Structure 1
Amino acid sequence: MFCKLPKFFLYDKADQESSQVIRMIFSIANIPYEMKEVDEITIQDLPLRSVPVLEIDGAKIGNATTICRHLGWRFDLSGQTALEDSMVDMIAETIHEAKQKLQPWLDHIEYKSIDYSKPECSDRYALEYLDGYLGPIIENILLKSGSSWLIGHKMTWADLMVASLFNSIIYHRPNFFHSYPNIYLHNKKVAELESLEGMLYCVRDRMVDVSLFRHVKPLSTTITQKTIPESQLTACT
């Protein structure tokens, strides 16, 4: 039986920053949608008075993780079991909280106009958080997954959440990831997906300590023994 695809409208501000993972899901699934730009006035008419918002045949859904969860279910980017789906949610919520915590620093490394004097804009602040909490957690999940992906043996929307957060960090601060080769190569794998061309920075080959992979199935990407200088990194556009 043929099911008609609903019309999707995605609401976000001009920079489209808050909807990046949602747009990645649409691109992976090859589903058409229409962007609607929101300003400080029109945002008041949205359900939670915040972006992103997804409109599906007239019904509006707010909250980025809620939207991603819905689209993951629609387009086979969820876990394959109830347990896997809960683990996808766990990772996604962790990444969402981390992004909120790191946002001032992320804006700083992306050269956006903010107060750089704030301590939370410093590399030291970010490194303490990444090394003391987030990095070991995600690296350990990848170490134990037994596949190229975070949960199970296929990509989920949690993989896109993780890739979205770490991509600009790897591009601007690649040395942060010497101890996290699986995060680095996971990001490279996602960034090289043809359907995401132009949405993430290119992740160049660099020297990786393969002894840190332990028993994990290698990611499907080339590992070289030559480090590419940061100055040679370029964005995929």
Structure 2
Amino acid sequence: MPVYKLHYFNITALGEPIRFLFHYGGIEFEDIRYNSEDWPAVKNNMPFGQMPVLEIDGKKIVQSSAICRYLAKQVGLAGDNDFESMQIDSVLDSFNDLRLKISAALYEPNEEIKAEKRKTVVEETLPYYLGKLDEIAKENDGHLALKKLTWADLYIAAFQTYFNFALKGDFKDFEGYPNLQKVVSNALANENVKKWVESRPETIC
């Protein structure tokens, strides 16, 4: 069994889908967390100076989606063929388009522009993307692809906490999107994932 070490900040965000996949599969890993004060000292040791980074037997791999795809294959949550994998990737790439728009508003330094971006996200972007994703979940019986549990379901469930933080006051637990709530429920029905969510460290997001 490889030795896994996950390097990320002490938050959920991009690190949490990786943690979900590890726990789903019952795979041991070292969850190494950094705060903002630690980061400058270790940044140059990370490929491309960013995280999350998954270290496998000393080899550091960057890019969260690539890491998730790898782990999904290890735990049986990837597609059974290229066409199935493409369907999973398609819905997750769409979800990540939404995530990037939310992050752009959250981290905008100009307060006036930030308010405008958030207004657009809340009134236009969020309903559009979540509406589409909710339709997909309905078509797939409470899943995001293939009418069965895949890493797409774990990925979106893992991001619920971050979305609650980033859109506080305008979003909570996919309210108004019952099929996406079912996706989250199906992901959390796994005992290992459920135990992780109940026992994981408290973070600001």
The answer to whether the superposition gives a TM-score over 0.5 is yes
Structure 2 CA distance for partners of 1:120 and 1:17, relative to 1, 3 Å:
farther
Q: Which of 133, 140, 152 pairs up with 1:138?
A: 133
Structure 1 residue 21, shift from structure 2 partner: 0.5
In 2: Cα distance, 1:187 partner to 1:140 partner: 15
Q: Give me the TM-score of the superposition, normalised by structure 1.
A: 0.68
In 1: Cα distance, 2:127 partner to 2:105 partner: 15
> Structure 1 stretch 12-21 or stretch 71-80: which is displaced more?
12-21
Equivalent pair of 1:95/1:165 in contact (CA under 8 Å): no
Residue identity opposite 1:182 in structure 2: N
Partner SS state of residue 182, structure 1? helix
The answer as to 2:142 corresponding to 1:148 is yes
Structure 1 residue 50, shift from structure 2 partner: 0.4
Residue identity opposite 1:35 in structure 2: D
> Structure 1 stretch 89-98 or stretch 115-124: which is displaced more?
115-124
Match of 1:207 in 2: none
In 2: Cα distance, 1:64 partner to 1:29 partner: 17
Equivalent pair of 1:139/1:183 in contact (CA under 8 Å): yes
In 2: Cα distance, 1:200 partner to 1:120 partner: 34
In 1: Cα distance, 2:115 partner to 2:156 partner: 24
Residue identity opposite 2:60 in structure 1: K
The answer as to 2:15 corresponding to 1:19 is yes
In 2: Cα distance, 1:103 partner to 1:11 partner: 21
Match of 2:203 in 1: none
Equivalent pair of 1:149/1:186 in contact (CA under 8 Å): yes
Equivalent pair of 2:18/2:64 in contact (CA under 8 Å): yes
Listed as ranges, the matches of 1:120-199 within 5 Å are 122=118, 125-132=121-128, 134-145=129-140, 147-167=141-161, 169=163, 173-174=171-172, 177-178=175-176, 180-197=177-194
Structure 1 residue 60, shift from structure 2 partner: 1.3
Residue identity opposite 1:42 in structure 2: V
Match of 1:61 in 2: 61
Equivalent pair of 1:11/1:36 in contact (CA under 8 Å): yes
Equivalent pair of 2:142/2:180 in contact (CA under 8 Å): no
For the aligned residue pairs, the C-alpha RMSD in angstroms reads 3.0
Match of 1:86 in 2: 86
Q: Give me the TM-score of the superposition, normalised by structure 2.
A: 0.77
In 1: Cα distance, 2:194 partner to 2:74 partner: 22
Structure 2 unaligned residues grouped into runs of 5+: 199-205
Match of 1:44 in 2: 44
Partner SS state of residue 61, structure 2? strand
In 1: Cα distance, 2:173 partner to 2:76 partner: 34
Structure number with higher relative contact order (C-alpha < 8 Å, ≥ 6 residues apart): 2
Structure 2 CA distance for partners of 1:105 and 1:160, relative to 1, 3 Å:
farther
Aligned length: 189
Structure 1 unaligned residues grouped into runs of 5+: 108-113, 202-237
Partner SS state of residue 5, structure 2? strand
Partner SS state of residue 41, structure 1? helix
Residue identity opposite 2:65 in structure 1: T
Equivalent pair of 1:170/1:184 in contact (CA under 8 Å): no
Equivalent pair of 2:20/2:158 in contact (CA under 8 Å): no
Structure 2 CA distance for partners of 1:156 and 1:97, relative to 1, 3 Å:
same
In 2: Cα distance, 1:44 partner to 1:16 partner: 22
